[in-house]
Amino acid sequence: MEIVKTLANRIIHNVEQVIMGKHDVVELTLLALLCQGHILIEDVPGTGKTILARAVARSIGCTFRRIQFTPDMLPSDVTGVSVFNQKTREFEFRPGPVFAQIVLSDEINRATPKTQSALLEAMDERQVTVDGTTYPMDLPFLVLATQNPIEYEGTFPLPEAQLDRFMLRINMGYPDKHSEIAILGAQQYAHPITALEQVISQEELLRAQEAVKQVYADDSIKEYIVNLTTATRNHPDVYLGVSPRGSLALYRTSQALAAVRQRDYIIPDDVKYLSQPTMAHRLIISPAARIKNIDPKEVIEEILSSVQVPAARIAQR
């Protein structure tokens, strides 16, 4: 796991030159990248969501596109459109902004459900189908979507099928006092993003993604993950629990976290640490519980405290 640890340190150190005081957020973003997953960032404007996506893209040397979602957008504005060429008398496909390796879907909840659904195939299958023709995406492929949790007017809540395709949901949050002072100093003359350089190649990242899959998970760890997700489905305050895709997300991100921390095996603390960002957005709280203002995070915490943690034992390989 030395290669994963080394590459992770390079990317994190590079990104933290512009995203200051947010080590946990940068690390979670890296975990999703190593697992070939996607991220939903919920936070108020101005907290660095766009800069985070640009910094990650620059660190890896990936192509970057930003899609500003609005209510009048059409699915073709995202995926692309076929245009008739009068010279060749044939239709030519003009790819949309989703054909990039790092895609920032800014304020995704401002688009209509029809336009939001244009991302579903790309996120899940790494391909886009337009007019019956399927076009593969370049790897690595990461969707970083943002939404403002404060404004509800003129927005369309993400459907469960869309939320379930995001491996992680994270919150940027405001920086602490010292970090914000450092931000002011760093941007006195120019934004530090302009000086950010590529620190790893795309080939190195792809090798790291394959290495993460080799991290060992004991059967007791797998059972622990399934017990946690099953508990969400049977909880009295939950209308819809975590899907098997959620179990897989928790498993994959735990593998990545173990590799980043230079271990070739998962421990229960990895699973606990990632339970909130991988499962909370997948829960639908029952109407009766919503009246009591019960938050999905509270349900996850309750489940973590009630489900038995597996004991250590010698691995049988």
Please classify residue 177 by burial: count the beta carbons closer than 10 Å to its beta carbon, then call 0-12 exposed, 13-18 middle and 19+ buried. Answer: exposed
Structural domains present in the chain: 2-72+102-111+139-208 (3.40.50.300), 215-306 (1.10.8.80)
Q: Does 138 score more than 70 pLDDT?
A: yes
Give the confidence band of 81 by pLDDT, cuts at 50, 70, 90. Answer: confident
pLDDT of residue 121: 85
Q: Does 158 score more than 60 pLDDT?
A: yes
Q: What is the pLDDT of residues 234-263, one digit of tens each?
A: 888 888 888 899 999 999 999 999 999 888
Please classify residue 312 by burial: count the beta carbons closer than 10 Å to its beta carbon, then call 0-12 exposed, 13-18 middle and 19+ buried. Answer: exposed
pLDDT of residue 316: 53
CA 241 – CA 225 distance, rounded (Å): 14
Mean pLDDT of 118-144: 86
pLDDT of residue 87: 82
